Amino acid sequence: MPVYEFKCENCGKEFEKFVISQSKVKEIKCPDCGSKNIKKKITACGVKGTDSNGISGTPSCSPFG
């Protein structure tokens, strides 16, 4: 299940949610104010792997790596 980041357009709360399918996104409510007026944020996340020397990389969702 993918994890998506959302922002409430009413109160500004940012939160993450596991989403089983895209059709379920419209059912998500803000955990603070209960509003359904939320927007899915666009995010990028790194993936852990190894390089050609077998050195393991560290997963990172930080803009700083």
In this prediction, residue 31 carries a pLDDT of: 95
Residue with tokens 């059912």: 27
pLDDT in tens, 24-58: 788 899 999 999 999 988 876 655 555 666 555 55
Query: For the chain, what's the residue count?
Result: 65
In this prediction, residue 42 carries a pLDDT of: 80
Q: What average pLDDT does the segment 9-14 reach?
A: 97
In this prediction, residue 65 carries a pLDDT of: 46
CA dist 34 and 20 (Å) reads 20
Higher pLDDT, 8 or 51: 8
